[in-house]
Amino acid sequence: MKFNHLLMAASAAFALAAASGARADDIKIGFILPMTGQQQSTGKQEAAAAKLFMQQNGDTVAGKKVELIIKDDGAVPDNSKRIAQDLIVNDKVAFLAGFGVTPGALAVAPLATEGKTPEIVTAAGTSIITEKSPYIARTSFTLAQSTVPMADWAAQNGIKKVVSMVSDYAPGADAAKSFAAEFTAKGGQILDSITFPLANPDFAPFLQRAADQKPDAIFVFVPSGQGGIFVKQFAERGMDKAGIRIIGPGDVTDDDLLNGMGDPVLGAITAHIYSADHNSPTNKAFVDAFKKANNGMRPNFMAVGAYDGMHLMYEALKKTGGKTDGDSLIAAIKGMAWESPRGPISIDPDTRDIIQNVYIRTVERKNGELYNVEFETFPSVKDPIKAAEKK
């Protein structure tokens, strides 16, 4: 009787495994993303891009079947950590990937080290993240990668007085500090340095404080997903009409929300790694396929981070011949270079961080839609904060 029960349980388990198509030697990729809550636009964009990559490139690599697991952490770092633990121990993932915000990526770093599981950061941007584990590599960006070119451009183009306005957490601090250092070194002046809360911010009083100082421009960092409300409140104070310009890294004018921001955002100048308007055959094919697979949704820079992250993981697996130990995979990742929808990119073999072009863009209306139109390129930018530490 007992034996029969066991047999039944075993065959039921087998039937389940067969139904889901899962096998023990399948390769699992675990994405931890904010699918709900304030950062959900990042989760939605990244998940769509990872799925698109698999549609286009198949679910087999190096002769093994790949399974994509997407888990929602709501951008809460305790959740990211708990989910990562579960993915490593129970699912035995070959890679952890994603992370909508820096605190989530940082919370998982010790687990990546302990489990020797590569952590592919496809969304977060604080410089220090890649230094927190030898198993971390990044396909997103760092804030300083954009803010230093932004500061150079502003100083050379008649912007003299700036009020800095950033979300009060690690990437905001990186953005404000790296912009101010470069901008003041090039002769610019920071009139005021304002921070506002990351969670549910009301920007109005901070915008008023900035407006009262009559700057040439406000330098803004808000994480992707918050730009719509920021620009709305900027316009409500008449700051666009007063001739105060918006400059900053491109998170504030991200492609997910840009088209809904309307006229007040026209002429905003940002420095960033990706625009859906980027003029290359690779990008045009990516944007078309992404829109087609997602009811016309336009990809933003987070989508490109995930798409490139998938490329990185597939290529690493090809190089190791399907071997999934962390040391082999990380060795395969170092120095990898390819053509992304954003342009040419590579992984710095010393830092495991991304090297990429940064583009200066202005918001224009094109065929009835708002786009960040690129007009100047800073080629092959390494993270300036890590580069400065090395000197």
Residue 256 is classified by DSSP as T
The residue from 223, 248, 299, 309 that contacts ligand PHB (CB under 6 A) is 223
Q: Is 356 in the site for ligand PHB (CB under 6 A)?
A: no
- Cβ-based nearer residue to ligand PHB, 102 or 178: 102
Q: Does 228 bind ligand PHB (CB under 6 A)?
A: no
Question: Which residues does 88 contact at the CB level (< 8 Å), separation at least 6?
Answer: 96, 111, 115, 117
Task: Give whichever of 216 and 255 is closer to ligand PHB, judged by the CB atom.
Answer: 255
The DSSP secondary structure of 275-317, one letter per residue, reads -TT--SHHHHHHHHHHHHHTTTPPP-HHHHHHHHHHHHHHHHH
Residue 283 has a CB neighbour count (10 Å cut-off) of 21
Residue 215 near ligand PHB by CB under 6 A: no
Q: Which of 41, 79, 126, 270 binds ligand PHB (CB under 6 A)?
A: 126
| Under rule CB under 6 A, residue 96 binds ligand PHB | no
Backbone angles phi, psi at 122, to 5 degrees: -105, 0
Q: How far is the CB of 384 from ligand PHB (least distance, A)?
A: 16
Q: Which of the ranges 28-36, 120-128, 266-274, 379-387 carries the binding residues for ligand PHB, by CB under 6 A?
A: 120-128
Q: Which stretch binds ligand PHB (CB under 6 A): 106-114, 118-126, 285-293, 332-340?
A: 118-126
Identity of the residue, 101 or 332, whose beta carbon is nearer to ligand PHB in the bound complex: 101
Q: Which of residues 166-185 bind ligand PHB (CB under 6 A)?
A: 171
Sequence-distant (≥ 6) Cβ neighbours of residue 205 within 8 angstroms: none
Which CB sits closer to ligand PHB, 247 or 332? 247
Q: What is the Cα–Cα distance from 258 to 387, expressed in whole angstroms? A: 32
For β-strands 27-33 and 354-366, DSSP reports them as: unpaired
Q: Does 124 engage in binding with ligand PHB (CB under 6 A)? A: yes
How many angstroms separate the CA atoms of 217 and 189, rounded? 11
Tell me how far CA of residue 156 lies from CA of 176, 224, 272, 358, in angstroms: 19, 27, 18, 17
- The minimum distance between CB 263 and ligand PHB, in angstroms, equals 23
- 341 binds ligand PHB, rule: CB under 6 A: no
Using the rule CB under 6 A, is 101 a contact of ligand PHB?
A: yes
Min dist CB 265 to ligand PHB, Å, is 16
User: If you search the block for the tokens 């604080």, which residue do you land on?
Assistant: 126
The site string for ligand PHB over 52-71 (x = CB under 6 A, - otherwise) reads: --------------------
Task: Provide, rounded to whole angstroms, the least separation between the CB of residue 61 and ligand PHB.
Answer: 28
Does 304 bind ligand PHB (CB under 6 A)? Our answer is: no
Candidates 47-55, 122-130, 156-164, 309-317 — which segment interacts with ligand PHB by CB under 6 A?
Answer: 122-130
With respect to ligand PHB, which residue has the nearer C-beta, 77 or 322? 77
- Does 305 participate in binding ligand PHB (rule CB under 6 A)? no
Q: Which of 38, 79, 102, 233 binds ligand PHB (CB under 6 A)?
A: 102
Q: How many residues does the chain have?
A: 391
Quote the least distance from Cβ 129 to ligand PHB, whole Å.
8
Q: How many residues bind ligand PHB, per CB under 6 A? A: 9
Least Cβ distance, residue 46 to ligand PHB (angstroms): 11
Phi, psi for residue 366 in degrees, rounded to 5: -135, 125
Alpha-carbon span 196 to 176, nearest angstrom: 12
Q: Read out DSSP for 35-66?
A: -SSTTHHHHHHHHHHHHHHHHHH-SEETTEEE
DSSP H helices in the chain: 2-20, 40-57, 77-89, 102-115, 143-156, 170-185, 204-211, 227-236, 281-293, 301-319, 326-333, 384-390
Instruction: Name the residue type at position 298.
Output: R
Residue 125 interacts with ligand PHB (CB under 6 A): yes or no: yes
User: Is residue 251 close enough to count as binding ligand PHB by CB under 6 A?
Assistant: yes
By CB under 6 A, name the binding residues for ligand PHB: 101-102, 124-126, 171, 223-224, 251
